[in-house]
Amino acid sequence: MSYNADEFNWGSDVEFMDARTGPLTNAIETNLTLFRNRGGKMIVHAGWADPNISPQWPMKHVEAITRDTLGKEVTIAENVFVKLVMIPGGGHCGSMNAKYPYVPAQYDFTSALIDWVEKGTEPMAGIESWGPENGENRTRRLLYMAADCEVE
């Protein structure tokens, strides 16, 4: 599907495009039963300092996924296929390093997800994170939202 940006009609084409391509591209769907039933796993991450979206949105979205896929009585902490990681000081899709240089700038979600899918190792040990090589900044492991949290 394609369109000409100069001729795009915001009054009608958005609805048309969403109806045609939404099932393939819409990230708002909250019933992920098919994904879960095929062994799908997902790590959702968001920054507490994200200037583009409220940090509450990912939490509400994962709550909705949990409720609509696993049942109303299941909590985020009990979700067995979606884990939510909230990054203290983190920005939108990554670092807020210019504003918060002490915040980990890089996160290794990919290795954690691969181990979870291929080896069944839940990312409970935390997501590896690191800061600049000069050693000025400290970093800690990132943990997903769980029922009980404590600092080691």
Question: Which tens digit of pLDDT belongs to each residue from 89-107?
Answer: 777 776 666 566 555 556 7
| Residue 20 belongs to a domain | yes
Q: Report the number of distinct structural domains present in the chain.
A: 1
What pTM, to 2 d.p., does this model score?
0.67
Compute the chain's Rg from CA coordinates.
18
pLDDT digits (tens, 9 = 90+) for 57-82: 888 999 999 999 999 899 888 888 99
Helix segments in 84-150, DSSP class H = 109-119
| Confidence grade of residue 32 (pLDDT, cut at 50, 70, 90) | very high
Question: What SS3 state is found at 119?
Answer: helix
In angstroms, what CA-CA distances link 111 with 2, 79, 120, 122, 137?
A: 35, 20, 12, 11, 23
**Domain range for residue 103?**
8-130
| Residue 135 belongs to a domain | no
| Residue 32 belongs to a domain | yes
pLDDT tops 70 at residue 146: no
| Alpha carbon distance 148, 77 (integer Å) | 9
